[in-house]
Amino acid sequence: MRDRTKELGNTAEASDEDEEGRALMVKPGISTVKEEKENDAFFKKVLEIRGVMEMLKKVVSDLENKQKTVLGVALPEDGMKRELQTLREEIKTMAMQIQKKLNTIEPKKGDDDGKYVPINLRMQRAQHGVLSREFVELMDHCNTIQASYRDRNVERIQRQLRITGTNVTDEELDGMLESGQTDVFTQNILIDAKATKQALNEIESRHDEILKLERSIKDLHDMFRYLAMEVEAQGEMVNRIEANIINSTNYVEKAVADTAKAATYQNKARKVGINVQVVPIIGQVS
């Protein structure tokens, strides 16, 4: 049997691009009790993060449905708007919890010796990368539905302004929304007609909702800007690790099948008095 350990070591040193291909390589020796405890603690935290993330997904879904309900009402009740604000605050709280928990399981950089990387460290990096990416995708979806909700509210304001006979450009409307003053366009509008009063009330109600919404979007954006950059940077590495694991699984399955086939041929050869030697083949996981 040819020893290819040295070849594997030389290959590992050949190129940094093949680093993720060594995700399953370990240093000689067996897992210690300390390492097993550390792995158990790590996976416990992973399960906790996934649990909170599942709850967050539900709250985001509830927020999306509640926003649709509010958009379907001309003058949403104060209770409906409070429910929306409560959901936003819950999302922010859970998001901060997940972010903190992700920080606790993030492996320290530079823990390898440049040649061999312990399998538990590789596993932790991959798990952290996958969880972080899922988290950012979820929050990106949350921001998307809130931005869409904002746009729909702006459309409602524009429609109500037209009802009052006030024509404004998009730039003027943006200026009104950014100013935080709901009376910029309504102070000179007569409110004798009932329909006009309702229009003005909806304008003020929608504007107030937009202000709260923009604060929520800004808070989440500031919170996850850095995390999103980190996930983008490590995304390619995670993809290569996942692909490598799949390739390794396929290799093992093929090796098992080849071994079983060789054993069958050997048994048949013995029956007819032919001495067949099975030569193990050592392949390199790509």
Alpha-carbon distance of 243 to 257, in angstroms, equals 21
Alpha-carbon distance of 112 to 120, in angstroms, equals 11
pLDDT of 228:
63
Q: What b/e string do you get for 27-63 counting C-beta neighbours within 10 Å, with b at 16 or more?
A: eeeeeeeeeeeeeeebeeebeebeebbeebeebbeeb
Q: Is 6 inside any structural domain?
A: no
pLDDT of 233:
55
Q: Is 281 inside any structural domain?
A: no
Range of the domain at 24: 18-271
Quote the number of domains for the chain.
Answer: 1
**CATH number of the domain within which 211 lies:** 1.20.58.70
Is 220 exposed, middle or buried (CB count within 10 Å of its CB: 0-12, 13-18, 19+)? buried
Alpha-carbon distance of 278 to 240, in angstroms, equals 34
Q: Is 240 inside any structural domain?
A: yes
Q: Is 27 inside any structural domain?
A: yes
Q: Is 9 inside any structural domain?
A: no
Q: Is 282 inside any structural domain?
A: no
Please spell the DSSP secondary structure of 35-86, one letter per residue: HHHHHHHHHHHHHHHHHHHHHHHHHHHHHHHHHHHHHT-SS--HHHHHHHHH
Alpha-carbon distance of 126 to 149, in angstroms, equals 35
Q: What is the pLDDT along the chain (286 residues), one digit of tens a residue?
A: 455 444 444 444 444 444 444 443 444 445 577 778 888 899 999 999 999 999 999 999 999 999 999 988 878 888 998 999 999 999 999 999 999 999 999 887 654 555 566 788 888 888 998 999 999 899 989 989 998 998 888 888 788 777 777 777 777 777 777 766 555 555 544 444 444 666 667 777 777 777 777 777 777 776 666 666 666 655 554 555 455 444 544 544 554 455 455 455 455 545 444 444 444 433 443 3
Query: Maximum Cα–Cα distance for the chain, whole Å?
Result: 110
Alpha-carbon distance of 158 to 153, in angstroms, equals 9
Distant-in-sequence contacts of 181-189, Cβ < 8 A, 24+ apart: 182/207, 182/208, 185/161, 189/164, 189/165
pLDDT of 12:
42
Tokens of 269: 């050869």
Q: Is 200 inside any structural domain?
A: yes
Q: Compute how many other C-beta atoms are within 10 angstroms of the C-beta atom of residue 141.
A: 14
Q: Is 8 inside any structural domain?
A: no
